[in-house]
Structure formats: structure tokens, C-alpha cells
Amino acid sequence: MSKSFLSNIAMVCAVSAPIMLGSAGASAEEMLRGTGDLGLIIERATGSILIVETTNRTTLKRVEGLGDISHASAVYSRDERYAYIFGRDGGLTKIDMLKGEIVKRIVQGGNSIGGAISDDGKLIAVSNYEPGGVKVFDAETLELVADLPAKYGNDEALSKTVGLVDLPGRKFVFTLWDAGETWIADFSRGNKPEVQKIPNMGEYPYDALVTGDGRHYITGLFGEDGLSHIDLWATELKGERILKGYGKGEKKLPVYKMPHLEGWAKASGQFVLPAIGRHEVLLMDSNSFTETDRIEVYGQPVFAMARPDGRQIWVNFAPPKNDTIQVIDLPSRKIIKTLKPGPAVLHMEFTPRGHEVWMSVRGADEVQVYDTQTLKKVSSLPAKKPSGIFFTARAHKIGL
């Protein structure tokens, strides 16, 4: 047997060597797998995550050592191989989803509340409460690329930043809680960004969303009765109030948990948005940005999330009614099912085509899986105080 032949055999073996999670005795073919049905579940109390696969609804591995992830979120690399997790302690952790291990972890701030990945997959941006501002890192190495302190006012105080999402063209957009401004950081010409500032976005913007085409940026306002909107395709960018005064003339309720606009729903030409401090979801025309209807729900909504086909809206609620999920049929605008998964339902995530929805039930220490056609529970997985659920399909969507 020739040396060249043996060399070629060695090369093939090296290329096909498995890197996937699996038992030590498994064959290479058994261990090789794709990433399309993978996801992670935040275990908020223990600083750990579960790597799961949705085809057979199983847990593949627990990864520990992520610090304070009591309000963590995640984004994915373009190939779905790596997850980037943003922790409450300012931690930024890169996870290898195939090996099931931490690649690198840094503490980049005092209190981070979310992040985004650029459309080319090369930049990771992190939004900070403390010390404020946004930091941007190289996705491969987690080395700092840019520091954008959110200074405002004559004394150049630092603002908390919220509503950080990616935009097409290697851009990030985020909003300053204290200043009521939205900033767009453009990295299209290199790692020193051009920053555009849009003032007058409203009083205490608390969260934001961007539509799937990257055109519309909408911020919720805690200090005002309404929301603000920017048409990012306009020649001149400016903030405009929408749904202004949706609670006018009615007694305000105490807010037990802030709703999340990043769990927004858009379907059949409508936005479906949680109303602050109200037992309603609001329907808004996606072209005119005017209110078209309201649907009364069980409690104060936190997430109002659309099944991928847009037919259903799944809603969870703030305490003390957070043991409940309601399912809305959007064409009829009727609640078709009220579910009682258990205490503290914190988050939901649909499988890529929406045949199932996974939901974290913190008080029961489990994640429950429901069939979205029958609306029945089909499985559950044990998890330690689970919260956020993030599937790798997010890698291919703007703003997630």
C-alpha cells in the first residue's frame, strides 16, 4: 500500500472526525449531526444552560459556569454553531453548541440586558445598564472592537441602553432609557462606526423591536401612554408617536412585570402588542400604525408571540397570573384556549415551522412542549428554574 494512499486515508479521517455531542462509544456516523434543531434553555438560578434538540425533545448536555444569567438572552452565529449569551453580571459567553462547552467568557460591563449579532456574523454588540452604553466585540475572539458610551445632556451623563437589535448593512440600533434617544451605529465602513442620533423618542423607552424586513423600529414607552416608531427606510429619520393615549381616561394599574416587545407578533397585516399595565393586547395596522382592535386577556401580558404562520398568538402574563397561557386565533380575534402549565411561565419559543411551542415553567422546574394544532402538552423536560428558550433558527432572522 503506497504512502500517498495512506496519506489520503488519514486526511479523509481527519476531515470527517466527529465533533458532536455523544457517548464515547458512538460511531462517527452516529455522532455527526446538524445544528438546525438545536437550542438552549437558560437555567437562571444556577448559572447554567441546557443544550436541547427539538426533533426528539431531548436534553443533550448541561453547560455550567455562566455567572448571573437571571435575565439572559442569546444570539447565534450564522452557521448556528456558536451561541452568544448575555448575562446580568455583564458576562458575555460564547458557547460551542456542538461540543457543548464554553469557548470563551468575558465580563464586559456591570449589568447587561441583551445583545445582537451583525448580519455578516462578525460583530457582537452588548447593551448595558451599568455603566451604560453599548460595547461591540469581534465574534471570533470576543476582543473589544468599539465602545459607545451613551452620553447625553450637558453634563454628559451615561444612559442605560435598551432595545438593541441588528439592522441590515452591518448596523445596530438601540435606545437610551434616560435620554429618550435612539442611536444607529453603522459599521459598514469598518470597526469605527458612524453614529446617527434620533432625539425625541419619548419618556423612558423600555424595550424595542425591529420588523423582519429591517424597516420599522418600534419602542415601548414606560413614561408615556403610547409607543414611538422610526421608519428606517425614510430619507430623514425621526421618531413618531403611535398608539398615543391608548389608555386615556382609564385608571392605570400597577405594573408587575414589564412587557417584552422583542416577543412581538406580526401577522395578517397586524402588529399584536402587549399593553403596559392593562389586561389587553393591542392590534395595530402594520401600514398605517393605527389601532384596529383590542383583545381582552386574562392578565397583564408579557409576551404576545405569533406562531410562525401567523394564525395563532400565544400570550403569557405577569405575576400573580403567570401560571397561565392564552391562545388567540388571529382571524377571529377570539381566545381559543386557556392553558395552566404551572407556576411562573416565563418564556416561549416556537419550533422553526411552528408545529410545537416550548415554554419554561420556572416554578415547576421544567420545560413543557405543546402541539400547536391540538393545543395539548406532548412532552416535558426537567430544567433548573428555566427562563429563556432560544432555538438556532434565530440565526437567520433580523432582530432576534
**Considering the domain boundaries, does residue 142 fall inside one?**
yes
**Considering the domain boundaries, does residue 215 fall inside one?**
yes
Which percentage of the chain shows pLDDT scores above 90?
76
**Considering the domain boundaries, does residue 17 fall inside one?**
no
Torsion of CA 88, 99, 368, 163, to 10 degrees: 30
**Considering the domain boundaries, does residue 182 fall inside one?**
yes
Per-residue pLDDT at 315 exceeds 70: yes
**Helices and strands (H, E) in the chain, number of each type:** 2, 34
Q: Order of strands across the sheet with 386-391?
A: 58-63, 48-53, 38-43, 386-391
**Considering the domain boundaries, does residue 261 fall inside one?**
no
The alpha-helical segments, DSSP class H, found in the chain are 3-15, 28-31
**Considering the domain boundaries, does residue 90 fall inside one?**
no
Contact indicator for 49, 95 with CB cutoff of 8 Å: yes
Residue 258, exposed/middle/buried by CB under 10 A (0-12, 13-18, 19+)? Answer: middle
DSSP 103-165: EEEEE-SSEEEEEEE-TTS-EEEEEEEES-SEEEEETTT--EEEEE--EETTTTEEPPEEEEE
Q: Please give the residue range of the domain that contains residue 147.
A: 108-256
What per-residue confidence (pLDDT) applies to 32? 86
Tell me the pLDDT tens digit for each residue of 235-291.
999 999 998 877 654 555 555 555 666 666 777 888 898 888 789 999 999 999 999
Per-residue pLDDT at 93 exceeds 50: yes
**Grid coordinates representing 31?**
455522532
Tell me the pLDDT tens digit for each residue of 118-136.
999 999 999 999 999 999 9
Whose grid coordinates read 435620554?
A: 179
**Considering the domain boundaries, does residue 121 fall inside one?**
yes
**Grid coordinates representing 187?**
459599521
**8-state DSSP, 275:** P
Q: Strands 227-231, 240-242: parallel, antiparallel or unpaired by DSSP? A: antiparallel
The tally of domains found in the chain comes to 1
Buried b (16+ CB within 10 A) or exposed e, 102-119: bbebbebbebbbbbbbbb
CA 44 vs. chain centroid, Å, equals 15
Which pairs with CB-CB distance under 8 Å and at least 24 residues apart come from 3-6? none
**Considering the domain boundaries, does residue 173 fall inside one?**
yes
Tell me the pLDDT tens digit for each residue of 23-81.
555 555 557 899 999 999 999 999 999 999 999 999 999 999 999 999 899 999 999 99
Other Cβ atoms less than 10 A from the Cβ of 96: the count is 17
CA distance 49 to 150: 31
pTM (2 decimals)?
0.90
Question: The CATH number of the domain where 228 resides is what?
Answer: 2.130.10.10
* Mean pLDDT, residues 3-27: 47
CA distance 75 to 97: 12
The more confident residue out of 3 and 344 is 344
